[in-house]
Amino acid sequence: MTNANDTQRIWLTGATSGIGRALAERLLEQGHRVALSARSESAMAELCEGHDNALPLPLDVADRQAVEWAGERLAEAFGGLDLAILNAGTCEYLDARDFEVELVERVFAPNFFGAVYCIEAALPLLRRAREEGGHPLLAATSSAAAYLPLPRAEAYGASKAALSHFMESLRLDLAGEGIGVSLIHPGFVKTPLTDRNDFDMPMRISTDAAAEAILTGLARRRLDIHFPRRFTLLVRLMGILPPGLRHRLGLRMTRQDSPVEARR
């Protein structure tokens, strides 16, 4: 994203809720041609209503064939992509006393593999934009949880850490092609997903504030867009502490529920 005032061809996943919804509304208002993806067709239709510059592409990012179809549809409609924002994701917390592999798989499916499937679909279109003389950008929403292991976040944190590592490695390999890669590491944002959390969320911000931080970071082509910065800088600092100290701090955040209470 070179300038917020430039008309761009954009693909945004996870577009109908939370941060994605706030991003979609802003991008459409700015006049960009925006392909919007989410699972709910009715929510997609409501979001696109009245916007001739919106292209609804309802899909589940964890369905590779559906993502391939979306890539074909994008190629037909846009020709290329100037910006892809891979924002779709989910969160579930693991109870180690009742270990559930299926939960881990459910979280990794959209958070990591869904992003990889979308990258596979988006890269040819980003390369086409580069051939046209553009400066395409690939962005993905990770989490501040990728910076620091947290209690019950085995699945969520690992999926986001995997995504961050993947994107940083990909950034190195795409640099020679002139395709930028930005990572987004939000702290707590007030969304339907975080509304389900049963713990304190310090410095939680609105989706509008998150969207503003993301779009500003993308316009400046920042490698790491993290916010709110007071919170994310603290989490990053904790993540580089010596293992023993990091462990002791983590134990202080561990819930002390009884096994029976934890299963309710």
Q: Looking at the annotation, which residues are catalytic?
A: 156
CB 78 within 8 A of CB 125: yes
Structure tokens at 94: 């693991």
Backbone Cα Rg of the chain? 19
Amino acid of residue 163:
L
Which two tokens mark 63?
A: 């369905």
Look up residue 2 and give its two tokens.
């070179």
Q: Give the per-residue SS3 of the chain.
A: CCCCCCCCEEEEECCCCHHHHHHHHHHHHCCCEEEEECCCHHHHHHHHCCCCCEEECCCCCCCHHHHHHHHHHHHHHHCCCCEEEECCCCCCCCCHHHCCHHHHHHHHHHHHHHHHHHHHHHHHHHHHHHHCCCCCEEEEECCHHHHCCCCCCHHHHHHHHHHHHHHHHHHHHHHHHCCEEEEEEECCECCCCHHHCCCCCCCCECHHHHHHHHHHHHHCCCCEEEECHHHHHHHHHHHCCCHHHHHHHHHHCCCCCCHHHHCC
